[in-house]
Amino acid sequence: MHGLKHKYSAKLLATKASEKQLEKVFETLMSGLKDGNKYIHCLYAESLVVISAKLNEKQLENAINTLIDGLKDEDKNVRNSYARSLGVISKKLDEKKLENTINTLIDGLKDKDRDVRMSCAESLGVISTNLTDKQLEGIFNALPNDLEWYYLHSYFNALEEISTKWNEKQSERVFNALTFVSKHSINTNNDEYKDRRLVRLLELSTKLNDKQLYLLVIHLLERAKKGFTRSVKDALPKISADMWKRATICGLKENIQMKNENTLMNKQNSNNRVLKAANNIDFELLAFGLMTFIPCIQLSCNDNNTNFDDLNELIRYCDKQAIKWEFPTHQSKWTNDNNYNDIQYPCLNDEIEK
């Protein structure tokens, strides 16, 4: 069993060993974690990560508890190794069972050794794909500014890793992660790294439903209006016409739904005004995006998704944005050059508000 000190030996055993043999391997590794040799501690922790995918629930729980206890070790190298291993092994846990791991890693953000703090931040990023919004918020509140890069880098890598094989439930998680990071980025000044990774994740968002796509586009537009970074500036024009159309139609549907909800609510209810204001802001952002990135989008009101009144309302917001930029409105051409074809504005199937 001395070969288990090498993680590649552990990997080979994990793929070839029977259940009984794996049990023996696990027991050997757990014993090694309690060995007096600190170097062996680190090697066995790495080997434990390699076979973690094959562990049953009880073994997984024992391994995690041992690693958590190890984060109190006096040796900084042991704490660092255990912190890295804890994130990978904990990925299999559900959000409820992750609480202890989260709290332990958050405590590790205050470790006196910088490498340990970095490893704790990275491990928090690894497990964040399985967390709720509340848990994510707790991490961000505890995360020091100098460790944000390590956390987000690890977090984004984990999201990209699962993006090619996510199911509907995982898609919902990824969307929540995207919008959460987007909102967090809005509160930072021109953070190119966060925007670049957010844009990278937008490229992986083809499995998002229409509402998720709409909300994500709104977040990006809000970021764009607050202050362009090169990544956002380059990415928004690359969103396909179909994606813009999906997002716009969803925005119109959201507007209809909001109106219906407001009609049913008591006019004296303060929440009514809040909901209406929020909807107006989204429409303003959508108009800003359409005017800036796809001014010739064509939509139809001949289906159940939209109606003429809502299209006209969107046109009014587009006109408002055009006036702000001192552009003409309701024009028949974008140019007087006869070499160009007429492009009617704003191209809503020839149905323009008079």
What's residue 274's pLDDT?
Answer: 47
Asked if pLDDT for residue 68 goes beyond 90, the answer is yes
Query: Who's near 44: CB < 8 A, 6+ residues apart?
Result: 4, 5, 29, 32, 33, 35
How far apart are alpha carbons 262 and 259 in whole angstroms?
5
| Residue range 227-252: mean pLDDT, rounded | 78
| Residue range 265-276: mean pLDDT, rounded | 53
Long-range Cβ pairs for the range 171-177 (8 Å, 24+): 171/207, 171/208, 171/209, 171/212, 172/212, 173/129, 173/130, 174/129, 174/201, 174/204, 174/205, 174/208, 175/205, 175/208, 175/212, 175/215, 175/216, 176/133, 177/128, 177/129, 177/136
**Residue 1 Cα to chain centre, angstroms:** 42
Whether the predicted model's global pTM rises above the 0.75 cut: no
| Domains, in order of start, for the chain | 1-136 (1.25.10.10), 168-235 (no CATH), 240-354 (no CATH)
What's residue 294's pLDDT?
Answer: 80
Environment class of 38 (CB within 10 Å of its CB; exposed 0-12, middle 13-18, buried 19+)? middle
pLDDT tens, residue by residue, 122-178: 999 999 878 877 888 888 889 898 888 888 888 877 777 766 666 666 667 666 766
Select the more confidently predicted residue: 59 or 342: 59
Asked if pLDDT for residue 36 goes beyond 50, the answer is yes
25 touches 34 (CB < 8 A): no
pLDDT tens, residue by residue, 328-350: 665 444 444 555 554 444 443 44
Asked if pLDDT for residue 353 goes beyond 50, the answer is no
